[in-house]
Structures are given as structure tokens and as C-alpha cells.
Amino acid sequence: MVNKALFQLRLIVVISCLAWAHAQGQYSQAIQQQMNAAGAQYSSATSPTYATPLATFQTYFNAVQTLNVASLCGTLTSSNGLSSVFDTTPPSTTSDYASLSTAMAAGSPTNYVLTSFVFHTDPTRPTITAAYTHTVTVNGHTSKLTDNIVLTLVDTAQGWMIDNLSDK
């Protein structure tokens, strides 16, 4: 009975991940193949939010796009993940999250487009190398920026979490 429920949960996650990827735009076939691979490595946890590396990446990327610091922090491990993103004490309160979200919004980032996605399979520490572009407006001047990132994931009790986030 548990195996059937777990199988159904995994099937739902794969279908929702593929639907999300399709809804995000027309990705190249290479990106789509990499996303499919990232959507096939399941966590031992039952949380659909972090069930696969792809699901964790989607949660992270959605948090970046919506400037939701609380959600972004939720994708990171409390030990290494948070310290790989924050040079100082990481935010921990609703007020901290709101302040950071407001500060990030000051540049009016928009038009996020995922331009590359490569999944490196590893049973214990898979990585996702990705790039995305977005525009930022500061003092009336708009710039198009590209962020190149590497996410190192670990399978935790909550599912696949980002244990290290670095710029490429």
C-alpha cells in the first residue's frame, strides 16, 4: 500500500514538473532532456516540493523570480546552504525576509528566462548548472544580466535540498 502511494506521488511530481517546464516556455531539446533527467532522481522523502532535483530547482527559481526570500531560504540546507548564499547571519524572521525581499525589489528585476540547464547525476550529491537572464532597472537605466549558478544538492529528510549555491 505504501509503495503504491509513493509511486503515485512520484508520478504526480514527474507530471507536474514536466507541465511546469512546458509552461515556462519553449526550451531547447537539450535543456528539456536535462530537466527530464533531473525530474527522475527521487528523494527518499515524500515531500512533493523537494521530491526531485528538478522540483527543488523549480521552487528555487520561482522564489528568485518572485523575490520571495523565505521560499528561497526554504530550499537551502540550514548548515552549508544558507552560508553559501549569505555572508552574514542568514535571515530567520518574517521581518528579515520582508526586508530582503524589499531590498531585492529595488532593482525591479523582470523578464527571467532560463537559458541553460545541465543536470549532473550523482546518487548522493547531484548538481545543477544553470544560467538565466533578467533585466534590472537602476536610476532609470535598464540592464540585461545573466546569472550563472551551480546548485549542489543533498537528499535530506525534507527531500532534495540545496547544500551549496555558487556562481559559475
pLDDT in tens, 111-149: 899 999 999 998 889 999 999 999 988 888 889 999 999
Q: Over the chain (168 residues), what is each successive 10-residue block's mean pLDDT?
A: 39 41 65 91 86 94 91 90 86 87 81 93 92 88 92 94 91
Question: Residue 84: CA atoms inside 13 Å, Cβ hemisphere, count?
Answer: 21
Q: Where are the alpha helices (DSSP H) in 24-137?
A: 29-38, 53-66, 69-74, 80-85, 94-105
* DSSP-based three-state secondary structure for 12: helix
Structural domains of the chain, count: 1
What residues make up the domain containing 7?
2-167
Residue 139: give its domain's CATH number: 3.10.450.50
Q: Say which DSSP state 125 is in.
A: S
Residue 54 has what pLDDT?
95
